[in-house]
Structure 1
Amino acid sequence: MATPAEGSMAALLPDLPKGPLQAYRARASFSWKELLLFLEGEDMLRFKHTIFSALESDPLFDRSCGADLPMEKYRELSFLRCKRVFEYDFLCLEDMLQTPLKVLALVGCLGMYDWSLSNKYFLHAFTFTSAIYTSGTERHFEYIQKAFRMEIFGCFALTEVSHGSNAKAIRTTAHYDPASQEFVIHSPDFEASKFWVGNMGKTATHAVVFAQLYTPGAQCWGLHSFLVQIRDPKNLLPMPGVMVGDMGKKLGQNGLDNGFAMFHQVRIPRQNLLNRIGDVTPEGTYVTPFKDARQRFGVSLGNLSMGRVTIIGMSVVNLKLAVCIAVRFSAARRQFGPADEEEVPVLEYQVQQWRLLPYLAAAYALDHFSKSLFLDLMELQQGLFRNDQSVRQAELGREIHALASAGKPLASWTAQRGIQECREACGGHGYLAMSRLGDLRNDNDPNCTYEGDNNVLLQQTSNYLLSLLARKLQDGARFESPLRTVDFLGAYPDILAQRFPGPGRAGLDSSAPLAAYKWLVCYLLRESYQKLEQEKRSGSSDFEARNNCQVYACRSLALAFLELTVVQRFHDHAHHPGVPPPLRAVLRRLSALYALWSLSPHVTLLYRGGYFSDEQAGKMVESAILDLCSQLKDDAVALVDVIAPPDFVLNSTIGRADGEATLAPSPPEQHRPRNCRHIQHLQPGAIAPPGRPPTTSSLAFPVPPRLSPPVGS
């Protein structure tokens, strides 16, 4: 007879349905339930189970409700769903501060269901409120409470039509008027209008607006953030002087209303300046605890690291979903085989293993990196809130900025390539909309662009590494950082003198590619620095010199450094003594496969720099990748079971847990559940979760027209 605890765990981790995937599950070398419990922990599993169960049992989240809705109705439904998530109260404000990984988990769970909903929720609940929490002071915290009560709805307005990555050149102004003790927010022209702001198109009532702060005498103190009301929460009409509009249909995530806004002499109280980095007295004197303007600017943009680190996690979720669909389909789909014998699953083919299993390993490695970096970021944010101005805090900020700036490109590009490979690996069935792979590809695509174009962001990471080398060469400063990601560079000359030790079984462990990666980063750092100095000696300006060093040098340096960091962290995780013995082999194989597969595109550089000297080294890398794919083939379905959400959330007809592909089209409108036909007429609060009253929030639909003219301007 099962104990209560065993019964509880059985409900939390039920057996998977039998079907075509059963044979692979029976051959797995480990228990998928044990690995899931080890990686997530019981508390996190219960948290995710609560979210998934709530979505599946609530008619508002019925999958057929959002199918083929016009964009305006899809956005209305996304708002209603976002509101419902707040009513469920999965995470209160205190929980977010005490258990930060649950923040990442909630965003991921909602994203697995629908990224429009997840991003709408995240931008309001985390990006908007986090900016207030870290950049504001106690006088602003009432807005956080209002946000969680859905009395207001927020957005984060940094990017402008003509300036995105170059935030320092943003042109929106905030002039202080001592006579009225107000700031005057103004957009000098259309190119200075806030653009691409999520939630601004239809639903946001308040915005954290970044603008150049001016005090009397036309003295500019640089970029600061301000709380600006842009709509009336009762009717969503624009406030006086605000022109706000929707940007229209996008390639994906059309349930999220991206918008733009222009401000015509909009007056806000002096207290609406988020004043942690600097304040203005009633008389108009600027005061700040930061003597260095560059440090003040860096702190003012600290919230961008939050966005970039979260995008890493979002990209990993997309990669997980795609790999789950493709591996399950490949294990069930049969094609060809020996003459006069049964066809075999396509997962048995070496090419299919080589196409998919490295992305499965990448999903595990990048997931661990994403979670660990998020915890590092929480440490940084707590320091910002305490107004910690120590040297360590400043160095931690620089290091996390460098990691996030390269981590977002690596994760989003890996997901982009992985989803496409998964789509092709599923053949024609993968091209069906009901496979969901097309939606995943479209929804992941903006991860490569927003919060900074990937190629531009990589320059931030290479600049960080080059500055460390310059300090080392000029005044003998040590290579060290709070998270120890650069500490290995202390052996810079010795590492450059190393050579590949030779082929052997060591290739099947992640220690060999780790050594190669350290050499590669040192080599690219030296090459980039020498190229930069050569450009300067030839007469190029600092801007021209850096611009001419990106391709084949600094860009490659940034990516190699981040890949090394991911490999190192996952290697340490897989080899930690706390890993249960039955799970060690599979985790170490995943670690080795990701390390070798990531390293393989750099083989040319390894030969060019002399680390590899004969053809056997390159062959060893290729052979080791194929050997590891073969060893992981029987574990692939179980590894997917660990990271797959319930079928309702995965929402793929070819990725079901039972392996039975259902290729029937979605039911026509007249056969959908009755409650879905009335979704378009729902008002906020019309349906409450079981046992919960409707909210009394004043935010309501119908929404205003697509372009709302300024009122009273």
Structure 2
Amino acid sequence: MAPPGEGRDAALLPEFPRGPLDTYRARASFSWKELALFAEGEDMLRFKKTIFSALENDPLFARSPGAHLSLEKYRELNFLRCKRIFEYDFLSVGDMFENPLKVSTLTQCLGMYDWSLAAKYLLHTLVFGSAVFSSGSERHFAYIQKIFSMEIFGCFALTELSHGSNAKAIRTTAHYNPATEEFIIHSPDFEAAKFWIGNMGKTATHAVVFAQLYVPGGQCHGLHPFIIQIRDPKTLLPMPGVMVGDIGKKLGLNGLDNGFAVFHKVRVPRQSLLNRMGDVTPEGTYVSPFKDARQRLGASLGSLSWGRVAIMGMAVANLKLAVSIAVRFSATRRQFGPTEDEEIPVLEYQTQQWRLLPYLAAAYALEHFSKSLFLDLVEFQRGLAAGDRSARQAELGREIHALASAGKSLASWTAQQGIQECREACGGHGYLAVNRLGVLRDDNDPNSTYEGDNNVLLQQTSNYLLGLLACRVQDGACFRSPLKSVDFLDSYPGILDQRFEVSSVADCVDSAVTLAAYKWLVCYLLRETHEKLNQEKRSGSDDFEARNNCQVFHGRPLALAFMELTVLQRFHEHVHRPCVPPSLRAVLGRLSALYALWSLNRHAALLYRGGYFSGEQAGRVLESAILTLCSQLKDDAVALVDVIAPPDFVLGSPIGRADGELYKNLWGAVLQDSKVLERASWWPEFSVNKPVTGSLKSKL
């Protein structure tokens, strides 16, 4: 039987070019092709290859080293590229709602090439399109086909200039007039302008706009989504009553046109209301399948969970790119050695392994979690579309909201820290723009803010856990959830009695040991946060003030620890499934254990403070186990990167190319800049005979 990747799969997973990375590839304990097939599946690998090949062979996507596009030109090019993606027809309308893995894969592929392109496509199709599909009814489905034919171009307009995270305080209004059967959409002042809206700056013709819905008599039924035309698709000129514009250059993602819109008594038909969660009759009577306004709002904002889960995928992709560049660089960059005549790759140094390999493990663990949560969200949305109003469906929504909120925070922060570590681990070459780490850092940075500030989102997760504990205390309810993320809390009192009893590195590298430690940590933080909250209330604080005073050292670490445990639990179960090929079990087990121990080690102070750790041995065993796993994974690192790295054309980093020709590739990239050898245009100013005049002379 041919090894994985041979024969019919040779074209799907071709061999890498021979070069300096061969030494590490030969040392790997597993076949990178076998792991790629196991992780992705043949169908998705072929789909990715189709996308990457199309981009590489299309002149519109050619990378131009040294090219410095103006903001206007970059946005024009990004729109043309987005338009071309639709022409390739990678996804059908059916795929968008029936094949979520294809949607996720396409987004990841486009993002690895350029996140401005991926974000533009994602906001138009998944965020705008899904909002119309999931919040609208049959009368709105005609928009779906227009989205994929690009007859219209969409955006999702929730955030305003003065409100973002506090969605309930959004101030745009929609007053219904039964005489004309119209809603009047109005921004009461400039602070109510829709702001930061992706695609709105230059290209969106339609927007899903959230506004406070008023019926005759002045009663407000809260925030509801409307589909509103903001530009003429033929001219891109604003519609009457709409002031729409671009907010300007950002720190990154400048191919995406983020914009603003102000509505001055814009009249739209009654049918513009996306009415799955609530509707208004022609006479002006409000009707809704939800009796609870909070449930209705949560369902209406379901698209935010789509956005948060998508951002998780974006952050993980950025981490994968950065780690791929840094590991390949470290395997070929030689500095110092045991003798003056021998230099060794910097990957051989323990410090370099400790800096990079935990982030490689994190990339694998977080990618598995983001994919699995994406599928959970698809299940939830299908339930909504089918009219499921069961208690399980409602609880599933709450659980996904909690996991998406903290998951987005954990993934974006891990990527942020990892990209910076990779940049520094590549030394001065990592600071060179052509090697892409700076662009990755800038483009990833807003992920910690978009769709909710991370620290605010963590409160959603800690509130979810505290709510479950309150039900347990008051009603004796069991800890149960559809995705089973909180089921371990049913053993809450017993878990708190446990202690860390591992005394050897060999025992510690089993990720089951770390799972037990994390369960204790979450229970401990949950108890401490609950007691702190009650203490605040007993001292006279109202509910708002009490919760506010419980965040920094209680609610925040509780949410993060719970999220890390959930990611670890899912990855641990994934790598220990019976279907995992025997040849892959060891390396996947080490990745799981390293991510677990590395994450847990950052909570060492809490583990000691709460009494789970005692004595010096616990901390020493933890540290020794991390370094042991780094050493064991060192020879597998290049092969692990080969599994997750895109083709060189997409990776776009001379120091991270698959051939490992570090210096040759970097030298060639530098010389490709059209002006690298040109004399400075201001060379006459350099003349020693030219006198210094004016204000500069007076300063000298």
Q: Please state which band the TM-score falls in when normalised by the shorter chain.
A: over 0.9
Look up the match of 2:355.
355
Using the alignment, how far apart are the partners of 1:173 and 1:667 within structure 2? 54
Shift in alpha-carbon separation, 1:666–1:479, aligned structure 2, 3 A:
farther
Using the alignment, how far apart are the partners of 1:13 and 1:555 within structure 2? 43
CA drift of 1:6 comes to 5.2
Look up the match of 1:104.
104
Using the alignment, how far apart are the partners of 1:631 and 1:2 within structure 2? 28
CA drift of 1:341 comes to 3.7
Look up the match of 1:589.
590
Look up the match of 1:439.
439
Unaligned runs of 5+ in 1: 672-713
CA drift of 1:669 comes to 5.3
Q: Secondary structure at the match of 2:11?
A: helix
Using the alignment, how far apart are the partners of 2:64 and 2:216 within structure 1? 57
What letter matches 1:347 in structure 2? Answer: L
Question: 1:133-175 CA deviation, whole Å, 9 max, x = no partner?
Answer: 1000010011111010000000000000111000001000000
Look up the match of 2:607.
606
1:231 matches 2:236 = no
Look up the match of 2:152.
152
1:89 matches 2:89 = yes
1:651 matches 2:652 = yes
Using the alignment, how far apart are the partners of 2:359 and 2:502 within structure 1? 27
Look up the match of 1:511.
512
Shift in alpha-carbon separation, 1:66–1:384, aligned structure 2, 3 A:
farther
**Partners of 1:66 and 1:74 within 8 A in 2:** no
Shift in alpha-carbon separation, 1:503–1:244, aligned structure 2, 3 A:
same
**Partners of 1:419 and 1:440 within 8 A in 2:** yes
Q: Secondary structure at the match of 1:415?
A: helix
Shift in alpha-carbon separation, 1:558–1:2, aligned structure 2, 3 A:
closer
Q: Which segment is superposed worse, 6-15 or 146-155?
A: 6-15
**Partners of 2:174 and 2:184 within 8 A in 1:** yes
Shift in alpha-carbon separation, 1:241–1:25, aligned structure 2, 3 A:
same
Q: Secondary structure at the match of 1:327?
A: helix
CA drift of 1:9 comes to 1.1
Question: 1:553-605 CA deviation, whole Å, 9 max, x = no partner?
Answer: 00000000000000000000111111000000000000000000000010110
Using the alignment, how far apart are the partners of 2:76 and 2:180 within structure 1? 39
CA drift of 1:101 comes to 1.2
1:665 matches 2:666 = no
Q: Please, what is the CA RMSD of the aligned residues?
A: 1.5
1:198 matches 2:198 = yes
What letter matches 2:168 in structure 1? Answer: K
CA drift of 1:628 comes to 0.1
Look up the match of 1:532.
533
Look up the match of 2:576.
575
Question: 1:307-358 CA deviation, whole Å, 9 max, x = no partner?
Answer: 0000000000000000000000000000000124410000000000000000
Structure 2 matches for 1:272-291, cutoff 5 A?
272-291=272-291
Structure 2 matches for 1:125-164, cutoff 5 A?
125-164=125-164
Question: 1:212-253 CA deviation, whole Å, 9 max, x = no partner?
Answer: 000000110000000000000001000000000101100001
Using the alignment, how far apart are the partners of 2:71 and 2:670 within structure 1? 21
Using the alignment, how far apart are the partners of 2:344 and 2:431 within structure 1? 22
Q: Which segment is superposed worse, 396-405 or 293-302?
A: 293-302
**Partners of 2:66 and 2:672 within 8 A in 1:** no
**Partners of 1:56 and 1:648 within 8 A in 2:** yes
What letter matches 1:604 in structure 2? Answer: A
Look up the match of 2:500.
500
Q: Secondary structure at the match of 1:200?
A: coil
Using the alignment, how far apart are the partners of 1:666 and 1:95 within structure 2? 44
Using the alignment, how far apart are the partners of 2:671 and 2:151 within structure 1? 37
Look up the match of 1:259.
259
CA drift of 1:666 comes to 6.2
State the aligned residue count: 671
Shift in alpha-carbon separation, 1:22–1:457, aligned structure 2, 3 A:
same
What letter matches 2:536 in structure 1? Answer: E
Could you state the TM-score of these two structures normalised by the residue count of structure 2?
Answer: 0.95
Question: 1:651-710 CA deviation, whole Å, 9 max, x = no partner?
Answer: 001000011122232634599xxxxxxxxxxxxxxxxxxxxxxxxxxxxxxxxxxxxxxx
Using the alignment, how far apart are the partners of 2:67 and 2:119 within structure 1? 19
Look up the match of 1:169.
169
Question: 1:71-124 CA deviation, whole Å, 9 max, x = no partner?
Answer: 101000000000000000101111222221111111110000000000000000
Q: Secondary structure at the match of 1:479?
A: coil
Using the alignment, how far apart are the partners of 2:23 and 2:88 within structure 1? 39
Using the alignment, how far apart are the partners of 2:572 and 2:657 within structure 1? 31
What letter matches 2:195 in structure 1? Answer: F
CA drift of 1:66 comes to 9.2
1:628 matches 2:633 = no
Using the alignment, how far apart are the partners of 1:296 and 1:40 within structure 2? 37
Q: Secondary structure at the match of 1:12?
A: coil
Look up the match of 2:306.
306
**Partners of 1:574 and 1:587 within 8 A in 2:** yes
CA drift of 1:614 comes to 1.1
Q: Secondary structure at the match of 2:16?
A: coil
CA drift of 1:283 comes to 0.5
Look up the match of 1:208.
208
Q: Secondary structure at the match of 1:225?
A: strand
Structure 2 matches for 1:2-401, cutoff 5 A?
7-64=7-64, 67-401=67-401
Q: Which segment is superposed worse, 454-463 or 59-68?
A: 59-68
Using the alignment, how far apart are the partners of 1:14 and 1:250 within structure 2? 39
**Partners of 2:212 and 2:220 within 8 A in 1:** yes
Look up the match of 2:567.
566
Unaligned runs of 5+ in 2: 677-700
Using the alignment, how far apart are the partners of 1:422 and 1:65 within structure 2? 22
**Partners of 1:21 and 1:332 within 8 A in 2:** yes
Using the alignment, how far apart are the partners of 2:491 and 2:2 within structure 1? 56
Q: Which segment is superposed worse, 503-512 or 626-635?
A: 503-512
1:556 matches 2:561 = no
Question: 1:417-440 CA deviation, whole Å, 9 max, x = no partner?
Answer: 000000000000000001100000
What letter matches 1:173 in structure 2? Answer: T
CA drift of 1:503 comes to 1.3
Using the alignment, how far apart are the partners of 1:509 and 1:538 within structure 2? 44
Using the alignment, how far apart are the partners of 1:631 and 1:54 within structure 2? 38
Using the alignment, how far apart are the partners of 2:468 and 2:524 within structure 1? 15
**Partners of 2:66 and 2:673 within 8 A in 1:** no
**Partners of 2:96 and 2:126 within 8 A in 1:** no
Using the alignment, how far apart are the partners of 1:62 and 1:669 within structure 2? 16
Sequence identity percentage: 77
Q: Secondary structure at the match of 2:603?
A: helix
Q: Which segment is superposed worse, 59-68 or 175-184?
A: 59-68
Q: Secondary structure at the match of 1:130?
A: helix
Look up the match of 1:694.
none
**Partners of 1:66 and 1:77 within 8 A in 2:** no
CA drift of 1:16 comes to 0.4
**Partners of 1:327 and 1:347 within 8 A in 2:** yes
Look up the match of 1:696.
none
Using the alignment, how far apart are the partners of 2:483 and 2:190 within structure 1? 42
Q: Secondary structure at the match of 1:290?
A: coil
Look up the match of 1:637.
638
Shift in alpha-carbon separation, 1:394–1:66, aligned structure 2, 3 A:
farther
What letter matches 1:523 in structure 2? Answer: Y
CA drift of 1:502 comes to 2.7
Look up the match of 2:457.
457
What letter matches 2:202 in structure 1? Answer: K
What letter matches 1:262 in structure 2? Answer: V
Shift in alpha-carbon separation, 1:668–1:353, aligned structure 2, 3 A:
closer
Look up the match of 2:681.
none
CA drift of 1:8 comes to 3.6
CA drift of 1:465 comes to 0.0
Shift in alpha-carbon separation, 1:59–1:2, aligned structure 2, 3 A:
farther
